[in-house]
Structure 1
């Protein structure tokens, strides 16, 4: 089953914004109830599934949370289901044990489209118990809406719409602007976001580095305010605005680069990066976080998959930067400061990143 998702900014009125905040609060309350119930069960050597907890929550919600009657049941149902997924990941060792959600944390909730309760018409979306809300843009896909996730970031509301059973008029991708598509190796890095084996390079905007001073000033301004005061909330909003700007610059650069790459490539070769291991390097950790290379590669993979472009991942220990792309000689003593690769065996010379990209190019 093909699934497509698109995140769109909402433009709600004050009443709709209040209702969405209440639904997010309802989801938070349900999640915290599930966590408390599960912990109580563990104390009694009982393993309570999310189905058991959901049944328990439904039995008491009208007495303990009478304000929830005017809200959609999907908010609480999906919050408890998400708690069940969190416990499953904890049990398998993927995640830590869940913690309680607080009001200052992530503000979001999920709604299913069970009985056609979610509808989209041009630049409007109908949400359960809220009604028609204006969107900043139209949904790109037509098909059956599976679910929506409503979230708030930096005082802005967004909706992520998941569509399944795509109709035939949906293009899986935009047509390529290039007739001479070719296999392409891609080397990612900090200074240059991506270097391709055909010679194309995509610069890394490094937005965190660019906004570092502005971010520091916003943090200092927040630290001077009395926590919980009106000025504290204003300063926190300004700080969130800087973070939001940084995130948008990075995301835009990644989208533009990955889209251009997949339009030109018939096959793609990339390196396997141990991001968590690299982040332990204190001298590189900040720059790596700013580059968000893991996010870039994830974006590249799903766009390539949509276009049916095969991706080959090189072995983690393959020395793509140290191996000569001309004769295959491996140069052991090559440091990060050496930006030009000079082969000691055949005399081949080229940019270090380009040499790595050529080595990663699939045959």
Structure 2
């Protein structure tokens, strides 16, 4: 999975650099032009990308992501696309050459990668593509599928919401949602892990281990916040 993420990052950065160079020369590039040139002239010379254990569709999705980033920039919905760095927001998207991918349970067979176990059970369904990302040395799988739901009955027609600091939200019906205060409750451990990381020798394996511990704790705090807001 690290190799797949590396190829996706290389493709994205190559496309961004080539896009910038073509634009400076007076051309109007797009993802289709870059994808065609990359597949015909660049990819054929890179043996490490054409390895049989690598899904060849990850380069296609990397160009799609680059094109989407430029679309958001031109529409004023986001900043200018930036180059990706190793170890930061590593991710890639794969498919099974158009075939449906079965999902379900605590095991899933990824195209070209093979069987992997999941910490949580997945719904039994099929999907056409999978997005895999790494956060704090943990890998996450994401996919879209349809779910049929029935609308719940309304107890009241209108509800007022008051957002606060002490309480996350207070409803006009009297229901309150407490503020988890994730950062405040974990600040001491974050400080301790940050000091431990600063004391480690740069480039050492112990520094890498300390970095992963700190990143995992930051991710835990972030997950508590996201869960509460959701």
Shared fold per TM-score greater than 0.5: yes
Contact 2:93/2:132 (<8 A) preserved? yes
Check whether the contact 1:113–1:145 (CA below 8 A) recurs between aligned residues: no
Of 142, 149, 153, 1:160 maps to 142
What SS does the aligned partner of 1:122 have? strand
Alpha-carbon distance in 1 for matches of 2:56, 2:116: 19
| Counterpart contact for 2:103–2:123, Cα < 8 Å | no
The answer to whether the 8 Å contact 2:104/2:124 transfers is: no
Aligned counterpart for 1:172 among listed residues 130, 149, 154 = 149
User: What TM-score do you get using the length of structure 2 for normalisation?
Assistant: 0.89
Q: Confirm whether residue 31 of structure 1 aligns to residue 20 of structure 2.
A: no
Partner of 1:182: 156
Gaps of 5+ in 1: 1-19, 255-295, 300-363
Tell whether the 8 Å contact from 2:100 to 2:127 is kept in structure 1 after alignment. Answer: no
* In 2, Cα distance between equivalents of 1:21 and 1:92: 33
1:241 aligns with 2:194: no
CA distance in 2, matches of 1:243, 1:217: 12
Alpha-carbon distance in structure 1 between the residues aligned to 2:118 and 2:198: 35
Report deviation, 1:113. 5.3
Partner residue of 1:79? 62
Higher Rg of the two aligned structures:
1
Task: Write out aligned runs for 1:273-288 (5 A).
Answer: none
1:136 aligns with 2:136: no
SS at match of 1:66: coil
Using the alignment, how far apart are the partners of 1:197 and 1:189 within structure 2?
Answer: 13
- Aligned residues of 2:102 and 2:124 also touching (Cα < 8 A): no
Can you give the 5+ residue segments of structure 2 that lack an aligned partner in the other structure? none
Q: Offset at 1:93?
A: 2.4
2-structure distance, mates of 1:244, 1:113: 31
CA distance in 2, matches of 1:250, 1:214: 17
Aligned to 2:133: 151
What is the TM-score normalised by the length of structure 1?
A: 0.58
Deviations 1:296-321 (A, max 9, x none): 3xx4xxxxxxxxxxxxxxxxxxxxxx
Aligned residue pairs, count? 226
**Aligned ranges 1:331-342 → 2 under 5 Å:** none
Contact residue 105 and residue 123 of structure 2 kept, 8 A: no
Q: 1:48 to 1:204 in 2, by over 3 A?
A: same
Per the alignment, do residues 122 and 235 of structure 1 end up closer, same or farther by CA in structure 2, a change over 3 Å counting? closer
Counterpart secondary structure, 2:142: strand
Pick one of 143, 168, 182 that aligns with 1:193: 168
Q: Is the 8 A contact 1:194 1:202 kept in 2?
A: yes
Contact 1:219 1:239 in 2 (8 A): yes
1:108 corresponds to 2:85: no
Distance (Å, rounded) in 2 between the aligned partners of 1:171 and 1:95: 33
Moved over 6 A (4+): none
Secondary structure at 2:121's aligned position in 1? coil
Aligned partner of 1:49 in structure 2 is: 30
CA distance in 2, matches of 1:97, 1:247: 25
Q: CA distance change for structure 1 residues 117 and 28 in 2, over 3 Å: closer, same or farther?
A: farther
Aligned to 1:10: none
